[in-house]
Every structure is written in structure tokens, then in C-alpha cells.
Amino acid sequence: MELQSILLPGVDPKRPLVIAGPCSAETEEQVMETARQLSAQGIKIFRAGIWKPRTKPGGFEGIGAEGLPWLKRVKEELGMYVATEVAKAEHVRLALAADVDIIWIGARTTVNPFAVQEIADALEGTDIPVLIKNPVNPDLDLWIGAIERVYNAGVRKIAAIHRGFSSYDKKIYRNLPQWHIPIELRRQMPEVPILCDPSHIGGKRELVAPLCQQAMDLNFDGLIVETHVNPEKAWSDATQQVTPAILDFILNTLVIREIKQTTENLSALRRQIDELDNNLLELLARRMRVSEEIGQYKKEHNMPILQEQRYDEILQNRISQAEHMGMHPEFMKAVLVAIHEESVRHQMEIMKK
């Protein structure tokens, strides 16, 4: 997969890439005021849902196309880039016509290959960045499949958004992070940047900051955070949105660990481990050869292989020595028993010859 950067001109390439804005565009004033505050803090990409997939009917299903001119105002008056969710071809056409800069495919859409294909077809020939949320269910292949469908339509500015996975049992998180899934996505598709959506994972304001930090510690490339001027009064996802001021605080207290530095130190340490393992293997092989010589001797002198007393001594001495060296006795016992078993096996081979 050959991708192009999703970074639009003027966006700081430093980690994390930040996208912020309300769950839903509600009114022109709410959109403009939220965007104004975010822009004053240096946020360059504004998000707002226009078409909202709601779990149950009767919830606020989004302002619809009526909100698109509001996003245009955000672009023109504040110079921000704007992003919104699309769930069908019609949304893609309307968003493109309204000069939306970035679109994302929501979790409830990623689960449906027909819907993703329809969106991908509508995107053919465009070069708009497309962010693909994980499906609601923890199915990595479905996520990868959606990325491939969009890629196969010719889109080259692609990123993934990790927004957690639905579960029946909602205790701490609204959607379980299951970090191993985005980590595996990174392994299988290292060229795809991954953003974290702490708002939909946490479902609660208090969880946004720790989730942002975890995502940074796992080398995620960016964050998409639901931000509202008056979160308690939000028409959708009121419990998980934060004010622009809180977001600013969260971003300023994030600890961004230098990836290069860490990986350099890490590879130096890994080289040491490789060398030590090599020494261990050589020592073990030598020990096995000596043990075979002992086997030969025992055979020639008609002695039994197992000399209980000697084995007992070895175990006791080595285990107490290991303890002095800061290792756990049970661990050392397991290692010695395994080595002894293997030595006995070698000596039995020699006896047979």
C-alpha cells in the first residue's frame, strides 16, 4: 500500500495530529463559537457530525445538509480545515460539494461492506483524506477490509481511527479499547497512521485525558476529541465531550515520548539481549556436551544414569545461588529441571548405542 500523508498544508507534522469539535453540529452559533475557541488555541482541524447514526430512533439524527454552510464559515472565517462523517454516497457528494476537507467513515458504517463500497465508489477520482473508524465489533479484518476498499477506489490519504469496541458489559468504558487490535493493525499496515478517539472509547469526560496519554504511549499518530462549548447541554454524547479549555489543558499536559530516542535505546537493549541469549545458548550446548561425556563414562563403568544425591545437590546449590543473584527460586528450579531432563535424555541415547 502506497499512501500519501493526510497532513494538509499548514498542519503541524508533530505528534499528535489533533482534530477537535463537537459530536454534532447543532446550531450555527454552537459551531462557530466552538471553532473560534479551538482555533484560538491553535487547533487546525475542526470536526462536527452532520449526519448522525443514532442507536435508537428519536435521538438527534444530525442537522443534515443544512449544517454544511456552517462548516464553510469555519473554513472561511477561521482558516480551519473541516471534517465530517459520511455514511452513504449521497453524504460524500454533498460533503465534497460543500468543500469539506476531510471525511470519516463511522464505526456503524465500517461494519457494512456494502455501505463502505458505496462510499468508496463515490470517492473515486477525489483526493480527499479519508479516516476509517474501526467497526463496532472487534473484527480487525473488517477494519482492514474497509481500508482496502477505500484504497482500491484510488484514495491515497488514508488514516484509521481507533474508537473502541462495543461490548454488552459496559463497566468503565463505553467501548472497550482492546489496544491489541489497533496494535495489530499497525503491524499489518504500518503505513496507515492511527488516530485515537478517546471520547467514544471512554464515554465519560474524565477518561479523555488518560486515554489520550495511553494512545501517545502506544505511538498513535493523532487524536480526535469531541469538544463542545457547553458539553452538558450537547444534543448528542453529552457525557463525553470536553470544553475547548479542558482540551487545551489535556494537550498541554500530555507527555510525548520521543519515539526515535526510545526506539534507539530500545534497540541497544535488544542487541544486548540477543548477545546474552547467544551466550546462554552456547553455554547450554557446552553443558550438554560435557553431560554426554559423563554419559559415556557412566556407560563404560557400568554406572546408572541417575545419581539422585548429585541431582539434589545441584538443585539446592544452584537455587540458593540464584536467589542470592536476585532470581526467583521457583524459576531457577524450573530451568534446572528442564536442563536435567534433557541431559538425562542425551545420556540415555548414549546408553542405547
Residues that bind ligand PEP (CB under 6 A): 23, 49, 85, 106-108, 133, 163, 197, 200
Q: Which does 153 bind (CB under 5 to 8 A by kind): Mn ion, ligand PEP, none?
A: none
Cβ of residue 165: shortest distance to ligand PEP, in angstroms? Answer: 10
Name residue, grid cell 488518560: 210
Measured from the CB of residue 239, what is the shortest distance to ligand PEP in angstroms? 13
Query: Residue for cell digits 502506497?
Result: 2
Cα 115 → chain centroid: 24
In whole angstroms, the minimum distance from the beta carbon of 224 to Mn ion comes to: 10
The entry of Mn ion, ligand PEP, none near residue 133 (CB within 5 to 8 angstroms by kind) is ligand PEP
Closest approach, Cβ 256 to ligand PEP, in A, equals 24
- Of 108 and 318, nearer to ligand PEP (C-beta) is 108
H/E stretch holding 194 reads strand 194-196
- Asked if 23 interacts with Mn ion (CB under 5 A), we say yes
106 binds, among ligand PEP, Mn ion, none (CB under 5 to 8 A by kind): ligand PEP
Q: Which is nearer to ligand PEP, 118 or 197 (CB)?
A: 197
Q: Which of 22/295 has CB closer to ligand PEP?
A: 22
Minimum distance from CB of 314 to ligand PEP (Å)? 59
Nearest CB to ligand PEP, comparing residues 58 and 125: 58
Query: Between residues 151 and 235, which has the closer beta carbon with respect to Mn ion?
Result: 235
Grid coordinates belonging to 279: 551466550
Cell of 98: 460543500
C-alpha dist (Å) from residue 278 to 190, 271, 275, 282, 346: 30, 11, 5, 6, 22
Q: Is 118 in the site for Mn ion (CB under 5 A)?
A: no
Nearest approach, Cβ of residue 85 and ligand PEP (Å): 6
**d(C-alpha 210, C-alpha 162), whole Å:** 15
Q: For residues 163 and 228, which CB has a smaller minimum distance to ligand PEP in the complex? A: 163
Count of all residues that appear for the chain in the document: 353
> What 3-state DSSP class applies to 161?
strand
Q: Which is nearer to ligand PEP, 44 or 200 (CB)?
A: 200
Q: Is the Cβ of residue 247 or residue 319 nearer to ligand PEP in the bound state?
A: 247
Smallest distance from ligand PEP to CB 19, Å: 10
Kindly state the smallest distance separating residue 88's Cβ from ligand PEP, in Å.
Answer: 14
Task: Record the cell numbers describing residue 154, joined without a space.
Answer: 484510488
Are 104 and 86 in contact, with CB atoms under 8 Å apart? yes
Choose one: 16-24, 33-41, 98-106, 227-235; the region binding Mn ion (CB under 5 A). Answer: 16-24
The neighbour count for residue 259, using CB atoms within 10 Å, is 11
CA distances (Å), 299 to each of 206, 259, 304, 310, 320, in order? Answer: 72, 58, 8, 17, 31
Q: Which does 205 bind (CB under 5 to 8 A by kind): Mn ion, ligand PEP, none?
A: none
Name the residue nearer to ligand PEP (CB basis): 122 or 160: 160
107 binds, among ligand PEP, Mn ion, none (CB under 5 to 8 A by kind): ligand PEP
C-alpha dihedral (154, 95, 35, 54), degrees to nearest 10 = -100
User: What is the distance between the alpha carbons of residues 216 and 61, in angstroms, rounded to a whole number?
Assistant: 32
Characterize 304-343 residue by residue with b for buried, 16 or more Cβ atoms within 10 angstroms of its Cβ, and e for exposed.
ebeeeeeeeeebeebbeebeeeeeeeeebeeebeebeeeb
User: Residue 49 has what DSSP assignment?
Assistant: B
| Contact (CB, 8 A) for 98 and 69 | yes
Closest approach of Cβ 174 to Mn ion, in Å?
10
**Contacts with Mn ion in 211-240 (CB under 5 A)?**
237
Which residue's CB comes closest to Mn ion? Answer: 23
Which residue ranges make up the site for Mn ion (CB under 5 A)? 23, 237
